[in-house]
Amino acid sequence: MKQVKVKKGLDLECKGWEQEAILRMLYNNLDPEVAEDPEELVVYGGIGKAARNWEAFDAIVATLRKLENDETMLIQSGKPVGVFKTHEHAPRALLANSVLVPKWATWEHFHELDRKGLMMYGQMTAGSWIYIGTQGILQGTYEAFAALARKHFGGSLKSTITLTAGLGGMGGAQPLAVTMNEGVVIAVEVDESRIEKRLKTNYCDVMTDDMTEAIQLATEAKAKGKPLSIALLGNAAEVHHELLSRGVQIDIVTDQTAAHDPLNGYIPAGFTLEEARTLRISDPTRYEKFATQSIAKHVEAMLQFQDQGAVVFDYGNNIRQVAHDEGVKDAFQFPGFVPAFIRPLFTEGKGPFRWAALSGDPEDIYRTDKLIKELFPENEALIRWIDMAREKVSFQGLPARICWLGYGERKEMGLAINELVRRGELKAPIVIGRDHLDSGSVASPNRETEAMKDGSDAVGDWAILNALINTAAGGSWVSFHHGGGVGMGYSLHAGMVVVADGTDLAGERLSRVLTTDPGMGVIRHADAGYEEAIQFAKDQNIVLPMYEK
């Protein structure tokens, strides 16, 4: 089976840094240090892939090597399908992944097309080539737990026990996010190799397959007020009930198994990994039934923890919906994390902003760490995060950084990075992008747009407008996807990446894209009636035609 390695250094394979950036980010997504199952082209999140198959991957690479500075490559669900002459301010690549006509937007239909080789699941940053490993979600997870700590535990998770499951590409951030908030966490994971990856990269402290030991370690650490993350090898649908029956006092419960995709992302109770793999292929319908039944049991346990007083929330994997469809009537009794903790940030266009150093040199990221602290010295939470990330985050693949910045701030940071490249203070250009989980780029009624003030949760126009305006503004690559995070039928979302290569042209494009993109978040929330967003738009002179006198 084929494998690719991340590409570093100053030698270009392509005709410009923009094309080279796309190529390097594609390689980066599939580097074994970064991707969860690189041989299958799976980056993270169940079967979130970077290319349809290896043949399509090779064709993308060959196309990028030839692509001119005024051409645009088109990608349809992980396969290159055309190149057109456009212009220098236009994106070098436009991508559409897993988009199905609404009536057909089910896993069943998707899997049928996938089997025929006609589609690929792009998740969010897998198929749009801006995944940066587990760090990509670490800050968001850290912020979500910090917000929870402020709301329920006086600002810290000290002397609390969090129970969760899933230590995959995204879920692997949970143990470190909890200990960064001074708490104790038991993370249940059924696949030992996933646990080992988190131990190796220092995202998790210890592993055990013995529940008694896990409980003892957790209760001792809680009593001493010491942060500790414990990976417990087991199946959450079973372990959670066992913890309930043993009367263990759990303070917080969430989940990051890939429950959004029962066929590929959830191991049913009572199955070894090997048995699951075999049944998944021989009888996918039966497999899915077992998986959804287990997810229902899993959510029932979460509800019982909630009844006992734990703070329980859905962390964006659609587990409530799957359980609800399986007959758990009160599955939506616990909230999603966006209305519970994140929405106020979204109203000001704040969301997960990230950048990666194309040189491959960690020093380039450390220089940008210094830059962001110089630019926003008054933002204490941001500075605390940057210092912690520097100390605790191991880079995977190309060195990268993430932090939550909003409207105005993103443009300032992007232009300042471009200036560092121009002055030669960074060895090579930087790519600047974000998750699709952002303030103005996603329609996902069980997640980012859950419980919108005006009830517009399922309106998908906003995600399309986001992709269109970022294309018009000159992103380097812009993508539109369906089904990321929560699965088929439940979300529409857009991604953007823009390259800072130190030129005036890049400066113009960065200035526009890093305004339109978070600006979409502000107008989306203003339109839904959030007073904070309306006021913020007025203060920042963002034009809201319906509010103009």
Active site residues: 403
Stretch that binds ligand NAD, among 229-237, 380-388, 473-481, 508-516 (CB under 6 A): 229-237
Cα(376)–Cα(206) distance, rounded to whole angstroms?
Answer: 36
Q: Are 525 and 439 in contact, with CB atoms under 8 Å apart?
A: yes
| Site membership for ligand NAD, residue 489 (CB under 6 A) | no
Minimum CB separation of residue 257 from ligand NAD in Å reads 4
In angstroms, the Cα distances linking 412 to 83, 369, 405, 418 are: 33, 14, 10, 10
| Site membership for ligand NAD, residue 133 (CB under 6 A) | no
| Site membership for ligand NAD, residue 361 (CB under 6 A) | no
Query: Residue 296, SS3?
Result: helix
Nearer to ligand NAD, 72 or 321 (CB): 321
Q: How many residues bind ligand NAD (CB under 6 A)?
A: 34
CA 133 from centre of chain: 9
Stretch that binds ligand NAD, among 95-103, 260-268, 320-328, 491-499 (CB under 6 A): 260-268
Place of tokens 């009537």: 329
| Site membership for ligand NAD, residue 35 (CB under 6 A) | no
Both tokens of residue 464? 């399309």
Nearer to ligand NAD, 14 or 243 (CB): 243
Cα(88)–Cα(372) distance, rounded to whole angstroms?
Answer: 29
Asked if residue 171 belongs to a known ligand binding site, the reply is yes
In angstroms, the Cα distances linking 115 to 53, 111, 126, 263, 351 are: 12, 6, 19, 13, 35
Stretch that binds ligand NAD, among 164-172, 241-249, 369-377, 499-507 (CB under 6 A): 164-172
| Residue from 175, 336, 485, 519 binding ligand NAD (CB under 6 A) | 485
- Compute the Cα dihedral for 146, 158, 172, 270 and give only its sign: negative
Nearer to ligand NAD, 149 or 269 (CB): 269
| Site membership for ligand NAD, residue 265 (CB under 6 A) | yes
| Residue from 137, 146, 186, 514 binding ligand NAD (CB under 6 A) | 137
Query: Within the chain, what is the greatest distance between any pair of CA atoms?
Result: 66
Asked if residue 76 belongs to a known ligand binding site, the reply is no
Over the window 68 to 97, marking each residue x when it contacts ligand NAD by CB under 6 A and - when it does not, the resulting string is: ------------------------------
Asked if residue 256 belongs to a known ligand binding site, the reply is yes
Both tokens of residue 277? 């793999």
User: Which conformational region is residue 138 in: left (phi greater than 0), alpha (psi within -120 to 50 degrees), or beta?
Assistant: alpha
| Residue from 27, 44, 153, 203 binding ligand NAD (CB under 6 A) | 44
Stretch that binds ligand NAD, among 86-94, 167-175, 222-230, 324-332 (CB under 6 A): 167-175
Minimum CB separation of residue 265 from ligand NAD in Å reads 5
Cα(524)–Cα(452) distance, rounded to whole angstroms?
Answer: 10
Asked if residue 473 belongs to a known ligand binding site, the reply is no
CA 457 from centre of chain: 20
Is 377 exposed, middle or buried (CB count within 10 Å of its CB: 0-12, 13-18, 19+)? Answer: exposed
| Site membership for ligand NAD, residue 166 (CB under 6 A) | yes
User: Which conformational region is residue 478 in: left (phi greater than 0), alpha (psi within -120 to 50 degrees), or beta?
Assistant: beta
Over the window 266 to 285, marking each residue x when it contacts ligand NAD by CB under 6 A and - when it does not, the resulting string is: xx------------------
Between 461-473 and 504-527, two packed helices, what is the crossing angle to 10 degrees? 160
Nearer to ligand NAD, 127 or 316 (CB): 316
Nearer to ligand NAD, 73 or 119 (CB): 119
Cα(186)–Cα(124) distance, rounded to whole angstroms?
Answer: 27
Minimum CB separation of residue 222 from ligand NAD in Å reads 22
| Site membership for ligand NAD, residue 191 (CB under 6 A) | yes
| Site membership for ligand NAD, residue 483 (CB under 6 A) | no
| Residue from 30, 41, 45, 221 binding ligand NAD (CB under 6 A) | 45
Cα(524)–Cα(532) distance, rounded to whole angstroms?
Answer: 12
Nearer to ligand NAD, 7 or 260 (CB): 260
Q: Are 498 and 433 in contact, with CB atoms under 8 Å apart?
A: yes
Minimum CB separation of residue 422 from ligand NAD in Å reads 34
Q: What is the DSSP string of 381-410?
A: HHHHHHHHHHHHPPP-SS-EEEEEE-TTHH
- Please report, in range form, the residues annotated as the binding site for NAD(+): 45-46, 123, 169-171, 189, 194, 235-236, 256-260, 266-267, 315, 485
Residues that bind ligand NAD (CB under 6 A): 36, 44-46, 137, 140, 165-171, 188-191, 194, 235-237, 256-260, 265-267, 315-317, 437, 485
Q: Which residues are annotated as a binding site?
A: 45-46, 123, 169-171, 189, 194, 235-236, 256-260, 266-267, 315, 485
